[in-house]
């Protein structure tokens, strides 16, 4: 503990002395080991370079100093000191040849400092031995030699402060003490003066050596920083040359390559040691690809004319990897004393930029999935059509059943199917025809002709598209079948504006899909009138929904077993003040397409539940009939049906058992998991669930087994055709299926007594249709209830 305290005190004292003398600027503790070694090496070498001459001079100075004391009674000391001094000086002279090769390690520095101590001690010993015994001229000569030794030695060692300051301190202190002691002994004022001059000389030399040492240290530090920065710059330049895409090049007046980075030379196949023999233009031309010849000629002309050039793009083949690269060049002529001396410029690898630009341009006009043109490119083509000099036909294609493929097999299969469809369309047209994908499963084919094509020819082309696209598809080892609907419009016969042509061909496609799909329809002017009427209906429909003018009518459902009234189906009816009666087959699809069906559906459900609460029955064993409400597939997809039904039942107070929700198979296909969860939630409330239009869609027995269904509804098309054996077999199969699964079966569209009897004989429980009653307004339901016969005990929905 005491030892550590002493060391700490010594360290503090040493620091205080260094600060007092101004030695803190010479501290090398901020340097790393490598830099410290370099500093020590430079210090030792610098001192040796200056002091070896001084050591050689000791051959003259040492004997001169010692001879001043000859015959003073100490001749043996004179001879001894002189011999030792000379031997020691020459030993240092030769040993410093080895020391000069030092790497600056601390051991070499310590040895060098010790040798300096010894050197100063030898001169100090001469002062001690000879100064007291000489007088007169001899003392003057001895003092001069000691002063010279002090000044020259200290300055010589000044490159190494660790050696210079001990050398200076020892000689100054000894000279002062010896002269001052001699003055006391002899009473000579001269000795006192010499002692004082020794201190003044020592202080002056100390200051000079200190400033020189500080300058040397600052120069070293500055040099180290410059070296570090240079190394960083060199690394950055090397890294830049290795990874950069832009390089500087220069030619001489003969246009030969004067300087260029290695990547440029490698790209052009020019050996580095022979670069100055290669003409820049010749090297580029040797690697040039033909489709940039025009740009190369522009480069050649600019260089020939000795004018500045910018952003010249040439395509070359890289010698290194055989890849084609786009090279962007800039250059400026150079002049010396008014004479042309060559070109200097930038050589940049613009391959990624050019390819990215091409990719952006491609994506701007092409569909990413199929690679054919997109809607943006189509707009440009349609805008460029000239009604006075060109004829064109536009075919708008929509795939029938594509959504089912997507839902059944996933979007990956659907995407690959679209790619196959695009290839079929491209294979079936001429090379100059235009094929685009507008989005989803819609495609457009634009055929331009110099003369008008006959209608028969155009419709034949459309029919061929339908046939081609209806052929089976093999995608991911899956055999897929779908059909296509095609709309056709002509330019300029149907429209002289290319963009308006899209509206017309869309109307033709709409007619093809409404007409049964899998066909081609040509635009006629009546379709335009239909579009205008549709727009009017849409606007009136928005107002009608806002004013709740669309109300439910009710078609009764009867038991085919006992004739009892079991329920009433709510059917939307709209009588507009301007349009008159608008059929649900017209306004319901519009409501679905415009999103109005969500609001309209909830309005009708609430109105139906409120009406059902008013259906009272006479005391004749009659039960209150259910109210049956259809839920649109669009409404089912967009709305939380279970939440909406619960809200309506809570608001109206209708018992859940009095409500039946009817859904179509398309609801189940769209999202089976969501549909199953929703229907289960409705069933848990006590709501009855019916599957509407069973057998007309993509029927699957798994739906009937896994979903909480209560009733199957036989579509009216099967009932209508029951006089034909195939229809009878289908109806009978549905009835038997329902019986086996414990489901009630109801037939729609019963219009004749013969149909009722056949259905009853097959085991169908319920029926509805014009044979019983058309849909009636809510006020007339009471009449139907009063006229009804008692229901059988099988009805489970009596309140």
Say if residue 426's pLDDT is above 80.
yes
pLDDT of residue 409: 83
Q: What is the tens place of the pLDDT at every residue in 730-784?
A: 899 999 988 988 899 999 999 999 999 999 999 999 999 999 999 999 999 988 8
> Which are the contacts of 337, defined by CB distance < 8 A and separation ≥ 6?
none
Q: What is the DSSP letter of 272?
A: G
Is residue 541 domain-shared with residue 506, that is, in the same domain? no
**Structural domain ending residue among the three candidates 225, 257, 289:** 225
- Residue 273, pLDDT > 90, answer no
pLDDT score recorded for residue 107? 84
Nearest alpha carbon to residue 689 among 789, 763, 797: 797
pLDDT at position 286 is: 82
- Dig out the tokens for 650 from the structure: 């809570």
Residue 102 lies in a domain: yes
Is the predicted pLDDT of residue 454 greater than 70, yes or no?
A: yes
Query: What percentage of residues in the chain have a pLDDT greater than 70?
Result: 88
Query: Is residue 3 domain-resident?
Result: no
| 303 and 399 assigned to the same domain | no
d(CA 94, CA 52): 9
pLDDT at position 19 is 52
Domain co-membership, 386 together with 263: no
CB 627 within 8 A of CB 796: no
Q: In this model, does residue 557 exceed pLDDT 70? A: yes
Q: How many domains does the chain have?
A: 4
546: domain CATH number is 3.20.20.450
Query: Could you tell me the CATH number of the domain that includes residue 426?
Result: 3.30.70.270
Concatenated DSSP letters of 105-147 = -HHHHHHHHHHHHHHHHHHHHHHHHHGGG--THHHHHHHHHHH
- Please tell me whether residue 482 adopts helix, strand or coil conformation: coil
Amino acid 232: pLDDT? 57
Candidate from 105-114, 557-566, 572-581 with smallest mean pLDDT: 105-114
641 and 768 in a single domain? The answer is yes
Residues 283 and 142 in one domain: no
Q: Please report the pLDDT score of residue 261 as a whole number.
A: 79
36 falls within a domain: yes
Question: What CATH number has the domain bearing residue 251?
Answer: 3.30.450.20
- Is residue 511, in this structure, part of any structural domain at all? yes
Confidence of residue 670 (pLDDT cuts 50, 70, 90): low
Q: Check pLDDT > 80 for residue 340.
A: yes
Residue 239 domain-assigned? no
Residues 379 and 302 in one domain: no
Q: Which residues pair with 659 in a beta bridge?
A: 627
The answer to whether residue 792 is domain-embedded is: no
Same domain, 771 and 681: yes
Is the pLDDT at 15 greater than 50? The verdict is no
Strands 766-767, 551-559: pairing kind:
antiparallel
Give residue 16's pLDDT band: very low, low, confident or very high (50, 70, 90). Answer: very low
Between 703 and 334, the more confident residue is: 334
Which of 459, 492, 523 lies at the terminal end of a domain, its last residue?
523
Give a yes or no: residue 579 inside a domain: yes
Is the per-residue pLDDT at 489 higher than 80?
A: yes
Q: What is the pLDDT of residue 267?
A: 78
pLDDT tens, position by position, 227-246: 666 555 555 555 554 555 67
pLDDT, mean of residues 158-173: 77
210 and 266 part of one domain:
no
407 and 293 share a domain? no
Confidence of residue 114 (pLDDT cuts 50, 70, 90): confident
- The 10s digit of each residue's pLDDT in 583-633 is 998 898 888 888 899 999 999 999 999 999 998 655 544 567 899 999 988
Of the pLDDT bands very low, low, confident and very high (cuts 50, 70, 90), residue 552 is: very high
Q: Which domain holds residue 321?
A: 244-355
pLDDT for residue 151 is more than 80: no
Is residue 8 a part of any domain in this protein? Answer: no
Same domain, 292 and 416: no
Do both 126 and 205 map to the same domain?
yes
Q: What is the DSSP letter of 288?
A: B
Q: Is the pLDDT of residue 510 over 80?
A: yes
- Listed as own residue / partner, the contacts of 607-611 with beta carbons closer than 8 Å and 24 or more positions apart are 607/548, 607/551, 607/552, 607/570, 608/552, 608/554, 608/570, 609/648, 609/649, 609/652, 609/654, 609/659, 610/652, 610/654, 611/552, 611/554, 611/778, 611/781
Pairing of strands 766-767, 391-400: unpaired
Do 343 and 373 lie in one domain? The reply is no
CA distance linking residue 655 with residue 644, whole number of Å: 15
Look at residues 177, 196, 225 and tell me which one is the last residue of a structural domain. Answer: 225
CA distance 176 to 188: 14
Across 20-29, average pLDDT: 56
pLDDT at 291 over 50: yes
């Amino acid at each position: 503990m005491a030892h550590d305290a002493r060391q700490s005190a010594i360290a503090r004292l040493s620091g205080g002395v260094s600060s007092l003398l101004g030695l803190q600027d010479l501290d090398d503790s901020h340097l790393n080991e490598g830099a410290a070694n370099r500093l020590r090496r430079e210090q030792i070498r610098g001192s040796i370079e200056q002091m070896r001459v001084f050591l050689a001079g000791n051959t003259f100075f040492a004997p001169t100093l010692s001879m001043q004391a000859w015959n003073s009674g100490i001749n043996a000391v004179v001879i001894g000191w002189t011999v030792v001094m000379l031997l020691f000086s020459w030993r240092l002279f030769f040993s410093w040849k080895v020391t000069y090769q030092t790497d600056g390690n601390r051991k070499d520095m310590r040895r060098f400092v010790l040798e300096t101590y010894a050197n100063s001690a030898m001169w100090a010993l001469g002062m001690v031995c000879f100064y007291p015994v000489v007088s007169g001229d001899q003392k003057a000569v001895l003092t001069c030699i000691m002063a010279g030794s002090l000044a020259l030695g200290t300055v010589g060692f000044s490159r190494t402060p660790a050696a210079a300051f001990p050398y200076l301190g020892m000689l100054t202190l000894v000279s002062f003490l010896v002269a001052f002691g001699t003055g006391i002994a002899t009473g000579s004022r001269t000795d006192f003066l010499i002692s004082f001059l020794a201190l003044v000389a020592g202080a002056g030399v100390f200051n000079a050596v200190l400033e020189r040492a500080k300058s040397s240290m600052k120069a070293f530090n500055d040099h180290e920083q410059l070296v570090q920065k240079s190394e960083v710059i060199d690394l950055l330049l090397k890294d830049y040359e290795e990874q950069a895409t832009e390089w500087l090049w220069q030619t001489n007046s003969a246009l030969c390559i004067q300087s260029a980075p290695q990547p440029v030379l490698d790209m052009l196949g020019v050996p580095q040691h022979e670069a100055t023999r290669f003409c820049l233009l010749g090297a580029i031309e040797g690697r040039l690809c033909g489709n940039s010849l025009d740009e190369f000629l522009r480069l050649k002309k600019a260089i020939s004319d000795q004018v500045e050039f910018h952003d010249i793009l040439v395509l070359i083949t890289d010698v290194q990897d055989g890849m084609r690269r786009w090279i962007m060049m800039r250059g400026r002529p150079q002049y010396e004393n008014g004479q042309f001396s060559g070109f200097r410029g930038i050589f940049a690898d613009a391959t990624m930029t050019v390819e990215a630009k091409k990719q952006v341009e491609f994506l701007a006009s092409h569909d990413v999935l199929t690679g054919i043109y997109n809607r943006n490119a189509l707009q440009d083509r349609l805008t460029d059509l000239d009604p006075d000099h060109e004829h064109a036909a536009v075919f708008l294609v929509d795939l029938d059943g594509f959504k089912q493929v997507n839902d059944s097999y996933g979007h990956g299969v659907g995407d690959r199917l679209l790619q196959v469809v695009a290839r079929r369309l491209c294979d079936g047209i001429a090379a100059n025809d235009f094929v685009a994908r507008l989005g989803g499963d819609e495609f457009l084919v634009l055929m331009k002709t110099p003369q008008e094509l006959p209608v028969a020819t155009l419709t034949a082309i459309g029919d061929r598209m339908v046939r081609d696209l209806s052929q089976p598809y093999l995608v991911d080892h899956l055999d897929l079948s779908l059909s296509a609907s095609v709309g056709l419009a002509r330019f300029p016969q149907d429209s002289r504006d290319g963009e308006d042509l899209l509206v017309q061909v869309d109307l033709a496609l709409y007619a093809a899909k409404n007409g049964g799909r899998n066909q081609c329809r040509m635009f006629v002017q009546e379709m335009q009138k239909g579009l205008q009427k549709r727009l009017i209906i849409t606007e009136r429909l928005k107002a009608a929904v806002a004013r709740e003018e669309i109300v439910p009518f009710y078609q009764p459902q009867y038991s085919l077993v006992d004739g009892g009234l079991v329920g009433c189906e709510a059917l939307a009816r709209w009588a507009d003040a301007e349009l008159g009666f608008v059929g649900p087959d017209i306004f319901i699809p519009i409501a679905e397409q415009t999103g109005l069906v969500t609001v309209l559906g909830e309005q009708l459900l609430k109105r139906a539940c409120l009406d059902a609460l008013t259906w009272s029955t006479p005391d004749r064993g009659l039960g209150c009939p259910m109210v049956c409400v259809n839920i649109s597939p669009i409404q089912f997809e967009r709305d939380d049906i279970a939440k909406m039904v619960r809200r309506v039942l809570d608001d109206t107070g209708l018992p859940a058992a009095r409500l039946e929700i009817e859904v179509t198979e398309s609801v189940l296909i769209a999202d089976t998991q969501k549909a199953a969860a929703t229907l289960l939630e409705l069933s848990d409330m006590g709501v009855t669930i019916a599957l509407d239009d069973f057998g007309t869609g993509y029927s699957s027995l798994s739906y009937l087994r896994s979903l909480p269904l209560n009733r199957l509804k036989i579509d009216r098309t099967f009932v209508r055709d029951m006089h034909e054996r195939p229809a009878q077999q289908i109806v009978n199969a549905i009835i038997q299926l329902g019986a086996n699964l414990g489901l009630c079966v109801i037939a729609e569209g019963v219009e004749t007594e013969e149909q009722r009897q056949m259905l009853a004989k097959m085991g169908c429980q319920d029926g509805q249709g014009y044979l019983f009653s058309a849909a009636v307004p809510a006020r007339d339901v009471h009449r139907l209830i009063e006229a009804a016969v008692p229901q059988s005990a099988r009805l489970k929905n009596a309140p």
